[in-house]
Amino acid sequence: MKQQANLIRAGQVIEHDGRRWTVLKQQIITPGKGGAFIQVEMRDLNTGNKTNERWRTADSVERLMTEDKDYTYSYMDGDNVVLMDPETFEQLILPQDIFGDQFAFLQDNMPLNVKLVEGDPVGVELPPHVTLEITEADPVVKGQTASSSYKPAVLSNGVKTMVPPFIEAGERIVVRTDDASYVERAKD
């Protein structure tokens, strides 16, 4: 299905130069002189290579329709992630790199949304938030009471994040899976 380039969004799958690409990031740029264009960072579905492409906003791009299917994370098998269809109990084996930076947030029995193009998996969506424990947190600097001050901390999965000064090591917090940012204290 053809669509204008300025309608490209992260997560979409497009066909360009005879290959399938998944869109990672997009940004519309309006220079001071000349027409606006869209800068797109995308990954080749077959090779995993990343590239940047620019289109004028009026150009058209071939968008592939994706089908969403729910799976549950089961276990790791070498560099592959094994998922299970909760309805049919069939297994789906995906390479670890299809998850990108979100791989660190995978947890046992986590529900996932797999995007398929003509039956082939092209992307995976994790739940927007996960609850993790803080393993390391810097001590609070005395007198630092500004509400916008954050301190570095390390989560139980090894990912570094910034947390408010009142969060201590050993506490459980909720973080976003897309950028590892702090949301709130865990309520459990």
**For the chain (length 188 residues), average pLDDT per consecutive 10?**
84 86 86 88 83 88 88 91 90 83 88 85 86 87 67 91 88 89 88
> What is residue 148's predicted lDDT score, i.e. its pLDDT?
67
Give residue 149's pLDDT: 79
Give the per-residue pLDDT at 73.
92
pTM above 0.75, yes or no: no
Phi, psi of 7 (to 5 degrees): -95, 5
Sign of torsion over alpha carbons 76, 78, 80, 86: negative
Rounded Cα distance, 98 and 13, in Å? 13
* SS3 of the chain: CEEEHHHCCCCCEEEECCEEEEEEEEEEECCCCCCCEEEEEEEECCCCCEEEEEEECCCEEEEECCEEEEEEEEEEECCEEEEECCCCCCEEEEEHHHHHHHHHHCCCCCEEEEEEECCEEEEEECCCEEEEEEEEECCCCCCCCCCCCCEEEEECCCCEEEECCCCCCCCEEEEECCCCCEEEECCC
The pLDDT value given to residue 49: 83
Interatomic CA distance for residues 41 and 50, integer angstroms: 7
- Closest-CA residue to 130 (of 100, 109, 149, 148): 109
